[in-house]
Chains A and B, each alone.
Chain A
Amino acid sequence: QVQLVQSGAEVKKPGASVKVSCKASGYTFTSYYMHWVRQAPGQGLEWMGIINPSGGSTSYAQKFQGRVTMTRDTSTSTVYMELSSLRSEDTAVYYCARPKGETMSLDYWGQGTLVTVSS
């Protein structure tokens, strides 16, 4: 069965960076893109970007350009999302999510990783 297992909660100071991992299993890792979506406390869902695990190409939301880097390790079927220059507004749950086949609806989600930015 498809599983996306994310790394644990993080507490960071403003200005620091955080790197969240998402380990995939139960399917061919390089056959599906992976998205990152975040959710601030009590707020809605916000798309951050996408990585193609096959070639490593990425596309980021304009809001995060210059601050986010998505990478992958095909040997461990893991994708990573690194966000730099953290500020309090980046406090959120970060999710990886796999799209459903050719569509970009998201049918498998990681459990989420809470990143807290606080001095």
Chain B
Amino acid sequence: EIVMTQSPATLSVSPGERATLSCRASQSVSSNLAWYQQKPGQAPRLLIYGASTRATGIPARFSGSGSGTEFTLTISSLQSEDFAVYYCQQYNNWPPLTFGQGTKVEIK
């Protein structure tokens, strides 16, 4: 089973600043990596798939990069609606699909 590790656990950022979230896989997942945003009481929302392709309707301030074992989600200028928990997920070697433990982006 591929283990996904996200860092940091919590990221404190001021509105308008850049946020950089990391995700590491225990072995290569090629570019088969997705990012999700989850707000309290809501289902996760797909942001990025294929490591760098934005899902439908996702603003351009969200970008993904990386391949193999190291991945990054960047939010270029944080808006109030971006404060949430973010998860990465690999779908290269499955079953099982595996998720990172999440990064909470909070207001500084």
Q: A residues engaging B (CB < 8 A)?
A: 35, 44-47, 49-50, 59-62, 95, 97, 100, 103-107, 109-112
Contacts and interface: CB of A to CB of B under 8 A. Distances in A.
A35 B97 contact: yes
A107 B43 contact: no
Contacts of B94: 104
A110 B42 CA distance: 10
B91 interface: yes
Contacts of B99: 44-47
A61 B46 contact: no
A109 B95 contact: no
A107 B18 CA distance: 25
Contacts of A47: 95-99
A61 B101 contact: no
B49 interface: yes
Contacts of A49: 95
A106 B44 contact: yes
Nearest to B43: A109
30 contacts: A35-B97, A44-B87, A44-B99, A44-B101, A45-B36, A45-B44, A45-B87, A45-B102, A47-B98, A47-B99, A49-B95, A50-B95, A61-B95, A61-B96, A95-B43, A95-B44, A97-B43, A97-B44, A100-B55, A103-B32, A103-B34, A105-B34, A105-B49, A105-B50, A105-B55, A106-B44, A106-B46, A107-B46, A107-B55, A112-B43
Contacts, number: 63
B44 to A, nearest CB: 6
A49 B50 CA distance: 21
Contacts of B32: 103-104
A109 B44 contact: yes
B96 A62 contact: yes
B34 A106 contact: yes
Contacts of B68: none
Chain B CB count within 10 A is highest, among A47, A49, A59, A110, for A47
